Amino acid sequence: MLSRRQTLRYLGIAAGGMLFNVPLIGRGQQSTFETALNIPDMASGSVVEEARQFDLTLQSGRTELLPGQFASTYGINGSYLGPTLRLNRYELSRFSVTNNLAEDSSLHWHGFHLPPTEDGGPHQPIAPGTTWNARFQVVQYGGTYWYHSHVMHKSGEQVYKGLAGMIIVDDEEHPQDLPSTYGVDDIPLILQDRRFDDEGELRYLNRYQDIVMGMMGDTILVNGTFQPQFRPSTRLVRFRILNAANARTFNLALNDGRPFQQIAGDGGLLSSPVTMNSLQLAPAERAEIVVAFNPGDSTELVSLGRDIPASAPPGAMNEMLRIINSERFRLLSLNAESRLADSGTVPDSLVAIYRIPEAAATNTRRFNLMMGSGMRSGEDRGPGDGPRNGTGGGSGGGNYFINGRQMAIDYINERVTLNTTEIWELRNRSPMMHPFHIHNGQFQLLDRNGTPPPDNEMGWKDTVRVDSGEVVRLIMRFTDYTDENNPYMYHCHILEHEDRGMMGQFVLVNS
Ligand SMILES: [Cu+2]
């Protein structure tokens, strides 16, 4: 086994323990965050023939991501990211997506229950110069969702360049008292980390560890804004937070330690607000939080470094994780105006959530999440326990598996019967966390390592963190859209893992 020093040298890590060439977060750690936070335009579409119609164009462009420097980027109806789409529950929505890029792309509606042909995944690529039409009825609860490229093998690069945006679903059962004026006291926060070269161009996968860990940058953008500031003008502000990073998990907190209330997760409101001091948000997860301000208040949204377990075993992989997880950095400066308007309240009770009883499940499926072991100092876990499910270790770093298989576009991994409830048991047999996402709607967590989930994970979810060594059980009901020929995806939402095999397909069938 390599010593720690040898391991570091092997990885090109400087003796000081810094993994990257520039310290995290490299750009602007010392400076003040003064640029006004960009608020993405809101698109409500137009109602045509009883459907809400959106016209979306995937395009390339040049965007001033860093001050005075322009990067080649992708966007939807713009050069970077896309408008916030506003949908209504129970309404039919239609999307015309025109691809003006020079390569295949797609748009996936993340978190939505819909027919598989409308999902915008790897089976619905949009060729350059063509238009894809999708339509589905919105049945999701009011909440914060998103859309992003999901094209085979290139989701990571395309999302990184900017093909992502937020979706807000409105729901009449939504409590009226919550702050809900978009851009005033209801603020989207799309969190992303990026890496730039000296000219301000985006760099992608230019280091070996990007493939293993997923692409993590040293510079944070919020809604595409570098070093942003938001100035609350109301006493309560609701932030709709979307982790749209390719691979980075944020450990969100306010730097003065003030608590906040989490009111919603991936699939809508929680049953009641949960008071928190920090909130872990993995790639693709969403959370809505409400923060209280006094006139003239200043605080900052930050990502805290996490404590590193003293028991962490040696090895290159663990060294990289240790460094990444211990980073603390700034996200958004918050400076309240000297006069603040009242802006609603947070009710003690938000919405009734029906808990799917475990006894309703008629089937349990098990999913082992595994990584190639090339980064694990040659360790061989032996037959039956290795990344290839029986052939032992040595499949090489940078390859990812679910149940020993890599995603193959023409292979259906699972067949699920219509109108059944299933338990999916996710077992992470790799050294790093994987956020597991299932298409076609929302599920509920049953437990983590046999323990009931924390209060803020008791709502509907479509993406769940599965930590190294952890067993997460979720329960999901499969309804409505049978299709023998068109599958849904399930996958790790670290996009480089997804692009390199950590994805599978299921069809929903009549029997
Ligand atoms: Cu992963």
Rounded to the nearest angstrom, the distance between the alpha carbon of 31 and the centre of ligand 1 is 33
- Examine the domain organization and report whether 235 and 288 are in the same domain: yes
Beta strands in 386-470 (DSSP E): 400-402, 414-417, 420-428, 434-438, 444-448, 463-466
- Examine the domain organization and report whether 40 and 136 are in the same domain: yes
- In angstroms, the CA 350 to CA 224 distance is 31
- Examine the domain organization and report whether 292 and 367 are in the same domain: no
- Decide if 198 is inside a domain: yes
- Decide if 331 is inside a domain: yes
- In angstroms, the CA 262 to CA 382 distance is 44
Rounded to the nearest angstrom, the distance between the alpha carbon of 491 and the centre of ligand 1 is 8
Rounded to the nearest angstrom, the distance between the alpha carbon of 502 and the centre of ligand 1 is 7
Rounded to the nearest angstrom, the distance between the alpha carbon of 372 and the centre of ligand 1 is 11
Rounded to the nearest angstrom, the distance between the alpha carbon of 10 and the centre of ligand 1 is 23
Q: Are 460 and 493 in contact (CB under 8 A)?
A: no
Number of domains in the chain: 3
- Examine the domain organization and report whether 160 and 185 are in the same domain: no
Rounded to the nearest angstrom, the distance between the alpha carbon of 272 and the centre of ligand 1 is 31
Rounded to the nearest angstrom, the distance between the alpha carbon of 338 and the centre of ligand 1 is 45
Asked whether the predicted pLDDT for residue 33 surpasses 60, the reply is yes
Rounded to the nearest angstrom, the distance between the alpha carbon of 213 and the centre of ligand 1 is 8
Element (H, E) at 94: strand 92-99
- Examine the domain organization and report whether 223 and 135 are in the same domain: no
Rounded to the nearest angstrom, the distance between the alpha carbon of 403 and the centre of ligand 1 is 13
Q: Are 304 and 255 in contact (CB under 8 A)?
A: no
Calculate the average pLDDT of the chain. Answer: 89
Rounded to the nearest angstrom, the distance between the alpha carbon of 85 and the centre of ligand 1 is 28
Encode pLDDT of 377-398 as tens digits. 333 343 334 343 333 344 456 7
Full domain range(s) for residue 325: 18-27+180-335
The pLDDT value recorded for residue 198 is: 96
- Examine the domain organization and report whether 62 and 201 are in the same domain: no
Rounded to the nearest angstrom, the distance between the alpha carbon of 490 and the centre of ligand 1 is 12
- Decide if 126 is inside a domain: yes
Rounded to the nearest angstrom, the distance between the alpha carbon of 44 and the centre of ligand 1 is 34
Rounded to the nearest angstrom, the distance between the alpha carbon of 41 and the centre of ligand 1 is 31
Asked whether the predicted pLDDT for residue 254 surpasses 90, the reply is yes
Element (H, E) at 210: helix 208-213
Q: Are 105 and 158 in contact (CB under 8 A)?
A: yes
Encode pLDDT of 352-384 as tens digits. 999 999 999 999 999 999 987 654 433 334 333
Mean pLDDT, to the nearest integer, of 90-101? 98
- In angstroms, the CA 499 to CA 33 distance is 34
Rounded to the nearest angstrom, the distance between the alpha carbon of 496 and the centre of ligand 1 is 8
Q: Which of 141, 170, 199 represents a domain boundary (last residue)? A: 170
Encode pLDDT of 293-321 as tens digits. 999 999 999 999 876 665 566 677 777 77
The pLDDT value recorded for residue 377 is: 32
- Decide if 87 is inside a domain: yes
Rounded to the nearest angstrom, the distance between the alpha carbon of 171 and the centre of ligand 1 is 33
- Examine the domain organization and report whether 184 and 325 are in the same domain: yes
Rounded to the nearest angstrom, the distance between the alpha carbon of 129 and the centre of ligand 1 is 32
- Decide if 206 is inside a domain: yes
- Decide if 92 is inside a domain: yes
Q: Which of 117, 150, 170 represents a domain boundary (last residue)? A: 170
- Examine the domain organization and report whether 327 and 373 are in the same domain: no
Token reading at 112: 């939505």
Rounded to the nearest angstrom, the distance between the alpha carbon of 401 and the centre of ligand 1 is 9
Give whole-number Cα distances, 322 to 305, 307, 328, 431, in Å. Answer: 10, 9, 12, 11
Encode pLDDT of 193-205 as tens digits. 999 999 999 999 9
Nearest to residue 297, comparing CAs of 236, 225, 344, 364?
236
Rounded to the nearest angstrom, the distance between the alpha carbon of 318 and the centre of ligand 1 is 15
- Examine the domain organization and report whether 144 and 186 are in the same domain: no
Mean pLDDT, to the nearest integer, of 174-201? 95
**CA atoms within a 13 Å half-sphere pointing along the CA-CB vector of 127:** 1
Rounded to the nearest angstrom, the distance between the alpha carbon of 209 and the centre of ligand 1 is 13
Q: Which of 118, 142, 170 represents a domain boundary (last residue)? A: 170
Rounded to the nearest angstrom, the distance between the alpha carbon of 319 and the centre of ligand 1 is 17
% of the chain residues with pLDDT over 70: 88
- Examine the domain organization and report whether 314 and 394 are in the same domain: no
The pLDDT value recorded for residue 311 is: 59
- In angstroms, the CA 379 to CA 158 distance is 34
- For residue 176, what pLDDT band results from cuts at 50, 70 and 90? confident
CA 127 to chain centre: 25
Amino acid at 157: E
Question: Which residue matches tokens 């997860």?
Answer: 285
- Examine the domain organization and report whether 222 and 90 are in the same domain: no
- Examine the domain organization and report whether 199 and 164 are in the same domain: no
Rounded to the nearest angstrom, the distance between the alpha carbon of 497 and the centre of ligand 1 is 5
- Decide if 12 is inside a domain: no
Reduced to 3 states, what is the DSSP secondary structure of residue 98? strand
**CATH code for the domain in which residue 373 is found:** 2.60.40.420
- In angstroms, the CA 137 to CA 4 distance is 54
- For residue 209, what pLDDT band results from cuts at 50, 70 and 90? confident
Rounded to the nearest angstrom, the distance between the alpha carbon of 434 and the centre of ligand 1 is 4
Mean pLDDT, to the nearest integer, of 410-427? 97
Rounded to the nearest angstrom, the distance between the alpha carbon of 55 and the centre of ligand 1 is 33
Which ranges in 58-206 belong to alpha helices (H)? 155-161
Question: Which residue matches tokens 């590193």?
Answer: 308
